[in-house]
Amino acid sequence: MKISLNRENFNLALEKLKKEYKIYAPIEIPFRGTFSDTSVIRYSEIEKIDEICFDKKSHFSAKEIMLPITQTMFYFTEEGCKMPKEQEQKYLIFLRSCDLHGVKRVDDIYLNNKFLDIYYKRVRDKVKFVVFGCPNSFENCFCVDMGTNKTDEYNIGIKVTEEEIFADIKDDELKVYFKELIAEKNNGSNDEHKINEMYMDVKDEKMKKYLEEIIAENNSNKIKENVEFEMEFVEDNEIHVDIPDNIELEDIINLDLWREYDSRCIACGKCNFVCPTCTCTTTQDVFYSENENNGERRRVWASCHVNGFTDMAGGHSFRQRHGDRMRFKVMHKISDFKKRFGYQMCTGCGRCDDACPEYISFSNCINKLSAELKRISAEKRGEKSE
């Protein structure tokens, strides 16, 4: 079902959808950025399409809606424990193609990975997605090389222009809302029918011109059906990555390039928190001050870069050096995840590069690793030829 409608009518559709859905989209929040005079773009509830920030990359992904930063797993008392009440309201999320690909990766981790995560599933089952076009690449993006720049696996796809919004509605539940709006807008009121009849009968040229303007205005407020349009997706990025394949652990584990990150990385974890596919969490027990035997267990976002992530009883830590943590993340994103699911974990959104206070480039690190592996491969061939 492909339609085109003006912004006013699209907002009316959102109004209808809000009866059943919480609607989230990336919005620009002033004075909440890295510095006091800068903005941050992150996901929040919206009322109208004009609130959505289409021309800038969001600093955070839609991950935080489905996988909250802090999530209560259960409440406990001296007698027992109980699960938190399940929220009944559904979610409608506006996002770009790369972030929808990110959702697929999180789905595989939490839903298709031997053990199903009930907390994630309870939210995920209630989510539908609206993909909006991304005709131009942003700074640090390399989505084209990761194959995440395009998608047709959306519930609604929209192309936004100055005057009109083109919508490709695939989901049957969502079609109902738009069909209802089409019926309201396209059938016409009694006044419209009278004006059309007057126009057919009027002889005066001035009156005819006046009625033509009214009819044109009425027609502009109608919703066009069966329109033809194509979603706009970026075709090329300034940044390209050469992703190595068939990586052998013994070839990369002690490479000198990891030592560069021992001093450069400050283990702040920002790259993990802005990433649409990082899903590591830790658990915390929160005890209530009124009764220290009562409380709740929460899971909160964690980071493989932050101190303490791999700490064990007795104080042992698997990856104390920051470069080793960088190696672990890089290998997970481009190799280990692929061995399990058949494709890379990284979506190429470039948010890790955007967020890093030390200007560490993940894409550059991949290319450095690829160059090192080519060198090692050449040396091995040389040894064999001798």
Residue ranges with strand state E in the chain? 2-6, 21-29, 40-45, 70-76, 81-82, 90-95, 127-132, 156-160, 164-169, 224-225, 281-287, 295-301
Last residue of some domain: 222, 243, 275?
222
pLDDT digits (tens, 9 = 90+) for 360-379: 999 999 999 999 999 998 88
362/140 Cα distance (integer angstroms): 9
Residue of higher predicted confidence among 168 and 191: 168
pLDDT band at residue 185 under the 50/70/90 scheme? confident
| Percent of the chain topping pLDDT 90 | 75
Q: Is residue 209 part of a domain?
A: yes
Q: What is the pLDDT of residue 90?
A: 96
The amino acid that residue 346 corresponds to is: C
182 and 196 share one domain = no
Q: What is the pLDDT of residue 292?
A: 84
pLDDT digits (tens, 9 = 90+) for 324-340: 999 999 999 999 999 99
Give CA separation, 347 vs 106, 168, 274, 302, in Å: 11, 24, 12, 20
Is the separation of the CB atoms in 78 and 115 below 8 Å?
no
200 and 78 share one domain = no
Q: Is residue 210 part of a domain?
A: yes
pTM over 0.85: yes
Q: Is residue 227 part of a domain?
A: no
280 and 151 share one domain = yes
Residues 6+ apart with CB under 8 A from 72: 84, 296, 297, 298
301/69 Cα distance (integer angstroms): 5
Q: What is the pLDDT of residue 217?
A: 63
The residue-averaged pLDDT of 260-276 equals 96
Q: What is the pLDDT of residue 382?
A: 79
Q: How many CA atoms lie within 13 A of 160 on its CB side?
A: 16
Q: Is residue 53 part of a domain?
A: yes
67 and 136 share one domain = yes
pLDDT digits (tens, 9 = 90+) for 90-138: 999 999 999 999 999 999 999 999 899 999 999 999 999 999 999 999 9
Q: How many CA atoms lie within 13 A of 262 on its CB side?
A: 11
Q: Is residue 124 part of a domain?
A: yes
Specify the DSSP class assigned to residue 51: G
pLDDT band at residue 274 under the 50/70/90 scheme? very high
Q: Which two tokens stand for residue 80?
A: 């027992």
Is the separation of the CB atoms in 52 and 133 below 8 Å?
no
Q: What is the pLDDT of residue 315?
A: 81
Is the separation of the CB atoms in 346 and 334 below 8 Å?
yes
The residue-averaged pLDDT of 222-249 equals 93
324 and 357 share one domain = yes
60 and 12 share one domain = yes
178 and 260 share one domain = yes
The CA-based angle 331-337-338, given to 5 degrees, is 100
Last residue of some domain: 222, 243, 267?
222
pLDDT band at residue 311 under the 50/70/90 scheme? confident
Q: Which two tokens stand for residue 22?
A: 């919480």
How many domains does the chain contain in total?
2
144 and 201 share one domain = no
Q: Is residue 51 part of a domain?
A: yes
pLDDT above 50 (res 227): yes
105 and 254 share one domain = yes
pLDDT band at residue 213 under the 50/70/90 scheme? low
pLDDT above 70 (res 147): yes
Helices 362-385/322-331 angle, 10° precision: 80
Q: Please, what's the b/e burial string for 285-305 (b: 16 or more CB within 10 A of its CB; e: otherwise)?
A: eeeeeeeeeebbebbebbbbb
Q: Is residue 323 part of a domain?
A: yes
Q: Are strands 90-95 and 21-29 parallel, antiparallel or unpaired?
A: parallel
Q: 134 has which bridge partners?
A: 233
The residue-averaged pLDDT of 198-213 equals 64
Rg (CA), the chain: 26
374 and 309 share one domain = yes
Q: What is the pLDDT of residue 62?
A: 95
Q: What is the pLDDT of residue 386?
A: 42
Q: What is the pLDDT of residue 258?
A: 97
pLDDT above 60 (res 192): no
201 and 280 share one domain = no
338/331 Cα distance (integer angstroms): 10
Structural domain including 124 reads 2-187+234-385
Q: How many CA atoms lie within 13 A of 85 on its CB side?
A: 3
Q: Is residue 17 part of a domain?
A: yes
pLDDT above 60 (res 302): yes
Is the separation of the CB atoms in 32 and 39 below 8 Å?
yes
Q: Please, what's the b/e burial string for 341-364 (b: 16 or more CB within 10 A of its CB; e: otherwise)?
A: eeebbbbbbbbbbbbbeeebebbe
77 and 109 share one domain = yes
pLDDT digits (tens, 9 = 90+) for 13-35: 999 999 999 999 999 999 888 88
Q: Which two tokens stand for residue 39?
A: 């903005």
pLDDT band at residue 194 under the 50/70/90 scheme? low
pLDDT band at residue 37 under the 50/70/90 scheme? confident
pLDDT above 80 (res 41): yes
192/214 Cα distance (integer angstroms): 9
Nearest to 177 by CA among 345, 23, 313: 23
